[in-house]
Amino acid sequence: MEKEIKLNVLFSILDLETTGGKFNEEGITEIAIYKFDGIKIIDQFISLINPQIPIQPYVKQLTGINNKMLLNAPKFYQVCKRVLEITNNTILVAHNASFDYRMLKVEFNRLGYDFNIPQLCTVNISKKLIPDKNSYKLGKLAKSLGISISNRHRASGDAMATVELFKLLLKKDKNNDILNNIIKQKNNKY
Contact (CB, 8 A) for 59 and 18? yes
Domains of the chain plus CATH, in order, are 10-185 (3.30.420.10)
The secondary structure element, H or E, covering residue 143 is helix 138-145
Determine contact, residues 31/47, Cβ cutoff 8 Å: yes
pLDDT digits (tens, 9 = 90+) for 90-129: 999 999 999 999 999 999 999 999 999 999 999 999 999 9
Q: How confident is the model at residue 189 (pLDDT cuts 50, 70, 90)?
A: very low
Query: Could you tell me which of 106, 124, 126 has the C-alpha nearest to residue 115?
Result: 106
Residue 1, pLDDT > 50, answer: no
